[in-house]
Structure 1
Amino acid sequence: MRILHILDHSIPLHSGYTFRTRAILEQQRALGWETCHLTSSKHRPGGVLQETVDGFEFHRTPGPLLWQKRLPLVAQWAVVKALERRLDELIPVLRPDILHAHSPALNGLAALRAARRHGLPLVYECRAFWEDAAVDHGTTTEGSLRYRLTRALETYVFRHADAVTTICEGLKADIVARGIPEAKVTVIPNAVDPGRFTFGTEPDPELQRSLGLTGKCVLGFIGSFYAYEGLALAIQALPDLLRHDERVRLLLVGGGPEEAALRAQVEQYGLNGKVVFTGRVPHDQVPRYYDLVDIFVYPRLPMRLTELVTPLKPLEAMARGRLVVASDVGGHRELIRDGETGFLFRAGRAESLVETVIRVLAARDRWPEVLAAGRRFVTEQRTWESSVARYRSVYTPLVQQHG
């Protein structure tokens, strides 16, 4: 079976989107399937039309013309049309058995039109509702014309694709509520490769010393600093935690739109030296930073995006053998059983975060039990091998139906 994946962007860029894609491609090849890969013009402007990255050959799409970029609606339509043209060029050469388009809906629309012209089945994968992410980023508001148009376009793709996949039960429920038959929607959950996450390793003493974390109780976050992650809540909680235990430190690894505001908040609260910003670190160095942390904190704020979408980072922390404290938004509740595989607190409530962390610190005798349960959850229910195997029940009937 040969699958042509149609993507927004890909490696060598680093994001949750590209890491999920890479895991899917690796596991599909392990299943004996052939994969081909095309990114839209949103991958990055300019550059070559074909590129090999880590053994994967990616076909690229030229960007819109300068005058098109100046008109938002025209620019979006130009993305669709350019992707359609590339699909028309590549399908006769690559001869895929199935098209698999991944969010956003612009990719789905281009793939839908190409699939009909070439007589191929189309699977559309929704990884998040991009209109909700745009609300958090401040580029639109819920209920605005842009919001409603984006939602309507994706619903159109859901209805006309041959099958729909998504990453969690929250997104599936919303898709089904739009009138899409439940049998048409398959959850392919986010997962990890446990072999890449050594369980319970000790911190690197040199790295510990360089960051001033030797002998400290380290709360940590590794990822992108978006507003919906709620990192300001963790900083707000820190003074109360320091009054309980002056050894507590907050380690923030990564960067993003909220970094300047978070640094300003640290100054305002007089927490210099208590909050450690590392900036972005090379991907191959991330495991060393996982090992520095005693308790990972994921204080996502309550909103549509976080209620519906499951994150990947808590799974990585559990696989690595680190405790997880997270807000009780829907996306976290799909991953964490409170008091068993991790701990949940009331979303948006700094006092609840403080109470939960203090309770966890006071129950160190239970840490090995919780850590083992978290690792067991990942290895039994959230491996990429088992997750990607679910595509078989999606692809096979469609390929058979289309001959």
Structure 2
Amino acid sequence: MGLLKNFSLAATTALRHVSDDPVVLVLQLSRRLPAKIVQPAAKAVCKAMPSSTAPAALIAAHVAGDSNGLERRLESARANGVSGNRARLAADIALAAGQPEWADQFLPAAAGSARLPATVARRKWYDGDMSGAVAALAGQRGSLGRHHDRLAGELKTFSGWTPLLPSVHMVPVPGRVLHFLTNSLPHTASGYAQRSHSIMAAQRDAGWDVLAVTRLGYPVQVGKVLAEEQDVVDGITYQRLLPPRMAATADARMQQEAEELLRAALEFRPEVLHTTTHFANGLVVDAVARALGIPWVYEVRGQLADTWASTRADAAKESQRYLEFQAREASVMNAASSVFTLGETMKDSIVAAGIPAEKVLLAPNAVGGEFLGEPKNHVQARSTLGLDPDLSYIGTVSSLVDYEGMDDLLDAFAILSPDFPKLRLLIVGSGTSAPSLQDQAKRLGLSNKVIFTGRVPRESTPIYHAALDIFVVPRKDLAVTRAVTPLKPVEALASARPVVASNLPALREIVEDNVNGRLSAADDPADLATVLSGLLTDPELRKRLGAVGRSRVLETRTWAANAAAYSAEYKKAVKLSLESRSGTHD
């Protein structure tokens, strides 16, 4: 029955994507399948159709990471005067590839295509003009009408709508906390999932009874059709909300999610709820907490409005989506009993949004488990990974997305390579930028010196850290990277490896120049190469910086310390809640 329910859920989700945006569905499927299958297939299509402007060839060029090839094909399509549905599909593919200026060139030629209103809506939605996107589909029927309803439902969640639940009597069990999560282990190995797991494991070790509940439809919606309704990882229970069918619009799904989470909470009977960005999680948990009369805390792990805006022109920060996103985040933070965040820079941003400073507490990215033990030396780590121990390695463990700046790291490595013939670049991780980065390495003539591992099991990351001479965080200078402190460099410091990071406020909270690492100018491969060169020629400095980095992390950044901070705040929130309900609180 569970499998039938999952297949029903997956099928209805896929059909909705086919109706709304088939191009995005194809791209999402390409990212879910193994890269060792998808990449050769995409490159084979490009080779077999070297000058084609057919939609399949455009998609293949994008999936293969051949940005130059995609642009060449789009230019050819424009020059050849494609029109009607072919022009509309070209616009859709350009939008999916993050090239709205190309979409704008094809849209006028798409007049007459029956599905043109959907592409116009996508174009407006891309810019953050949510009301304009909804208006573009007004009066449509059939699948376009359903698309209108879905966009209108999402706009409602940004514009003040909240799920509503009746009050329910529940006697909480002291010492129980329920975490509501966007994703989790073992199905997602992101920094988000790892941080959540580390927090809950530390809380369990501190005596809390912990339950994690993941968002409605996860992980079936990300392709894990065989998922069970419950997973237990290292003693932490992850409960799934997997109905056979999800409501058709975002507001209705959020209401459905709140009702499902309420049922899970009534069964577990926590005394406090804990959730994380973004605001959709907060709205659902706030509704459940109000229904049960218990407190909840909100953990701000990122500034997702800025993450969205980072892939768009500066005007995105004046868009409806951005402004309403920020307003909803502020309202959720105000509703929570307390707010936790990763660092001082993020706290300053939260306070600037109108949240009282005394309500905002720090729970920085931290380490535990194997990172607390003595790290392996380079030779041991490299031998285990099958790397030549006689070579030198710089690199990173990261999600491969544009704002991480891996293209700048590749350019810096190209500058270094002639002077350091035994140097290799190790890039551990996966993400949407992986194909274009591999293509860049090929164009630079460095394919034999750059190692892309793809995604690796989370338990393997300590040994990859240990294999490196220098860990690099080459983040771009964007609002999101100036504010958000990543997890992986903290783990690198715990591994006694010096960190070279972009000179950005959030990263300066982790890396102190010439103390535990070095800072380099963001978006400047030449300066990054200069800083790396100085460390590569000074092994004693690398050793000293690494030793200081490890010592500081073990003193100030452990999950056990964070668990103690959460525990104190939970108890305070529960006490205030009880006093408020009994009428004894002033």
Fold conserved between structures, TM > 0.5:
yes
3-state SS, counterpart of residue 22 of structure 1: helix
Structure 1 residue aligned with 2:521 = 346
Distance change (3 Å), C-alpha of 1:8 and 1:42? farther
1:96 corresponds in structure 2 to 270
Q: Distance in 2 between matches of 1:190 and 1:63?
A: 33
Deviations 1:310-364 (A, max 9, x none): 1111111111121211111122100011001111101111111011011112322
Computed over aligned residues only, the root mean square deviation of the Cα atoms, in angstroms, reads 2.2
Q: CA deviation at 1:82?
A: 2.3
Q: Which residue of 2 aligns with 1:117?
A: 291
The alpha-carbon deviation at position 216 of structure 1 amounts to 1.8
Contact 2:394 2:471 in 1 (8 A): yes
Which of the numbers 198, 214, 238 marks the counterpart of 1:23? 198
Instruction: Say if 1:203 and 1:288, in contact at 8 Å, map to a contact too.
Output: no
The letter for the 2-side match of 1:8 is T
1:6 aligns to what? 180
Task: Give matches, 1:182-221, under 5 Å.
Answer: 182-193=357-368, 195-196=370-371, 197-204=373-380, 207=383, 210-211=386-387, 213-221=388-396
Aligned residues of 1:226 and 1:258 also touching (Cα < 8 A): yes
Aligned to 2:418: 243
Match of 1:364 among 522, 536, 539: 539
**Which residue of 144, 165, 177 corresponds with 2:340?**
165
In the alignment, residue 57 of structure 1 is paired with which amino acid?
T
Cα drift, residue 58 of structure 1: 2.0
- Which of residues 434, 444, 455 in structure 2 aligns to 1:280? 455
Which has the higher mean CA deviation after the structures are superposed, 148-157 or 337-346? 148-157
Contact 1:308–1:331, Cα closer than 8 Å, also in 2? yes
> Aligned to 1:311, what secondary structure does the other structure show?
coil
Structure showing greater relative contact order (alpha-carbon pairs closer than 8 Å, 6 or more residues apart): 1
Gaps of 5+ in 2: 1-174, 579-586
**Contact 1:251–1:277 at 8 Å: present in 2 too?**
yes
1:177 maps to 2:344: no
**2 CA distance for matches of 1:142 and 1:377?**
37
CA shift, 1:5, in A, is 1.0
How big is the shift at 1:191?
0.2
Q: Find the aligned partners of 2:234 and 2:368 in 1 and give their Cα distance.
A: 17
Letter matched to residue 198 of structure 1: E
1:155 is matched with: 330
Q: Which has the higher helix share?
A: 2
* Alpha-carbon contact 2:394-2:470 (below 8 Å) kept: yes
1:52-63 matches, cutoff 5 A: 52-62=232-242
Task: Determine the C-alpha separation between the residues in 2 that align with 1:327 and 1:120.
Answer: 42
The total of aligned residue pairs comes to 396
| Map of 2:150 onto structure 1 | none
Residue in 2 aligned with 1:256? 431
CA distance in 1, matches of 2:481, 2:244: 32
Deviates more, 1:55-64 or 1:127-136: 55-64
Q: What is aligned with 1:71?
A: none
Q: Is residue 295 from structure 1 mapped to residue 475 from structure 2 by the alignment?
A: no
Check conservation: 1:302, 1:347, Cα contact below 8 A. Answer: yes
Cα drift, residue 172 of structure 1: 1.0
Aligned residue in 2 for 1:311: 486
Q: CA deviation at 1:262?
A: 0.6
Q: Structure 1's 271 and 208: CA in aligned 2 closer, same or farther, altered over 3 A? A: farther
The 2-side partners of 1:153 and 1:333 are apart by: 29
User: 1:229-240 maps to which residues of 2 (within 5 A)?
Assistant: 229-240=404-415
- Give the direction of change, closer, same or farther, for the CA distance of 1:301–1:265 in structure 2 (3 Å limit): same
- Quote the offset at 1:138 in angstroms: 6.0
Does the CA contact (< 8 Å) of 1:254 and 1:280 recur in 2?
yes
For residue 384 of structure 1, the aligned residue among 520, 539, 559 is: 559
Instruction: Give the corresponding residue for 1:81.
Output: 255
8 Å CA contact retained: 2:481, 2:506:
yes
How far residue 17 of structure 1 moved from its aligned partner, in angstroms, is 0.8
Shift of 1:107: 0.9
Assess if the C-alpha contact under 8 Å between 1:39 and 1:61 holds in 2: yes
- SS of 1:5 mapped into structure 2: strand
The Cα of 1:32 is off from its aligned counterpart by 1.0
Given the alignment, which residue of 295, 298, 304 partners 1:130? 304
Tell me the SS of whatever aligns to 2:207: coil
Paired residues of 1:307 and 1:331 also in contact (CA < 8 A)? yes
Deviation at 1:148, TM superposition (A): 2.1
**Which protein has the larger Cα radius of gyration, Structure 1 or Structure 2?**
2
Percentage identity across paired residues of the two chains: 34
Partner of 2:215: 40
Distance 1:79 1:138 in 2: 28
| Deviation, structure 1 residue 118 | 1.3
CA contact (8 A) 1:223 1:255 kept: yes
In 2: Cα distance, 1:308 partner to 1:350 partner: 22
* Cα distance change, pair 242–88 in 1 and its aligned pair in 2 (3 A): closer
- How much does 1:372 deviate? 1.2
Rounded Cα–Cα distance in structure 1 between residues aligned with 2:475 and 2:546? 21
* Residue ranges of structure 1 left out of the alignment (5+ in a row): 69-73
Identify which of 399, 402, 425 aligns with 1:224: 399
Per-residue CA shift, 1:97-154, capped at 9, x if unaligned?
1111222211100111111121111111111122222234569943322222222211
Distance 2:557 2:253 in 1: 34
Q: Report if the CA contact (8 A) 2:217-2:246 is conserved.
A: no
How much does 1:401 deviate? Answer: 1.7
Contact 2:330 2:354 in 1 (8 A): no
Contact 1:84 1:111 in 2 (8 A): yes
Q: Is the deviation greater in 136-145 or in 35-44?
A: 136-145
The residue that corresponds to 2:155 in the other structure is: none
- Of stretches 319-328 and 281-290 in structure 1, the one that deviates more from structure 2 is 281-290
Could you say which residue in structure 2 is the equivalent of 1:50?
A: 230
* CA distance in 2: counterparts of 1:346 and 1:112, whole angstroms: 41
Read off the aligned partner of 1:267 and give its amino acid letter.
K
- Conserved? CA contact 1:200–1:321, under 8 Å: no
Letter in 1 for 2:292: H
